[in-house]
Amino acid sequence: AKLGGRDRIAVFDPSMYTAAVMEAEARTELERGLGADEFTVVYQPIVDLPSGLLIGVEALARWQHPTRGLVGPDSFIPQAERTGLIVPLGAHVLRVACHEVAGWHSAIPGAENVRVSINLSARQFQEPDLVDTVRAALADSGIRPHLVVLEITESLLMHDVDATVVTLHELRELGVQIAVDDFGTGYSSLSYLRRFPIDILKIDKAFIDGITDDSDDATLAEAVVGLGKALRLSTVAEGIEHADQQEMLSQLGVTYGQGYLFARPGSADEIAEMVRAAYR
């Protein structure tokens, strides 16, 4: 008998069954973690490039899991996106980050202009109440809105252009800034980017890695910086690990940098100490 077509449906595929069970278990586990308040936020400094002065931080989610220990986002954000749980999780990160950084503004003299960048996933953009969620997080924390940067990925921009443009305008009316994350990994062209109300381009680490030994990467980084300048946006280079990368990027005119060279992500207390030291 021929296998395939309709016949194939009758074949029991244990791997499909296993995948479905694992997905359901992951969802339950995520829900439990959210209910038990196990998700925390760490912060990675963003610095002014020539000087290295800390000017802001990026909020990054972590899961303080009772048996698995401290879990990084690569192993739960994709599941949270698939199950839709990224919506409450993302709102939690937003609230915590605005609240903690607003605390630094009032507790650390000189640090009242430190910015906080928060990642938003495409799934959060599909929620009709995203703008209300952001408005509430700003109001509850008392943070000044222009110090909040919402990071969205380039692929999100390509998704549903008209709806995204409307939402971005609404967000910007709240006073927050918009950054395009992982820039260079998608397909946006100059004319395309002009349609979006954005403030900052974050150049993906992939372009930064080989910048000092691969002339193609250097040319690409230069092109991205040129794009940012043409659109009058500030630029952030991600994943800077070596001093010669900092040197080269700052010569190219990149505004800000982020990476292990300056600091790894740290707890709110650890990074508050760095902020204190930077503005002492």
Q: Where are the alpha helices (DSSP H) in the chain?
A: 14-35, 77-83, 86-107, 122-125, 130-141, 154-159, 161-173, 190-193, 205-209, 215-230, 243-252, 268-278
Residue 246 engages ligand C2E in binding (rule: CB under 6 A):
no
Are residues 112 and 105 in contact, defined by beta-carbon separation less than 8 angstroms? yes
As a whole number of Å, the end-to-end CA separation of the chain is: 79
Residue 156 engages ligand C2E in binding (rule: CB under 6 A):
no
Integer Cα distance of 267 and 79 in angstroms: 24
3-state secondary structure of 99: helix
Looking at 33, 45, 56, 90, which residue binds ligand C2E (CB under 6 A)? 90
* Range 148-170 burial, b when 16+ CB lie within 10 A, else e: bbbbbbbebbeeeeeebeebbee
Looking at 63, 76, 83, 151, which residue binds Ca ion (CB under 5 A)? 151
Q: What is the DSSP letter of 266?
A: B
Residue 74 engages ligand C2E in binding (rule: CB under 6 A):
yes
Residue 154 engages Ca ion in binding (rule: CB under 5 A):
no
Q: Per-residue x/- mask for ligand C2E, residues 188 to 207, rule CB under 6 A? A: --------------------
Q: How far is the CB of 126 from ligand C2E (least distance, A)?
A: 13
Looking at 152, 178, 265, 271, which residue binds ligand C2E (CB under 6 A)? 265
- Out of ligand C2E, Ca ion, none, which partner does residue 241 contact, by CB within 5 to 8 A per kind? ligand C2E
Closer to ligand C2E by CB, 17 or 260: give it.
260
Residue 72 engages ligand C2E in binding (rule: CB under 6 A):
yes
How far is CA 169 from its chain centroid? Answer: 19
Candidates 3-11, 17-25, 175-183, 259-267; binding stretch for Ca ion (CB under 5 A): 175-183
* 60, β-bridge pairs: 42
Q: For the chain, what percentages of helix, strand and coil (3-state, to nearest 5) are there?
A: 50, 20, 30
Closer to ligand C2E by CB, 9 or 73: give it.
73
Residues found near ligand C2E in the complex (CB under 6 A):
44, 60-61, 72-74, 77, 86, 90, 93, 119, 121, 181-182, 239-241, 258-260, 265
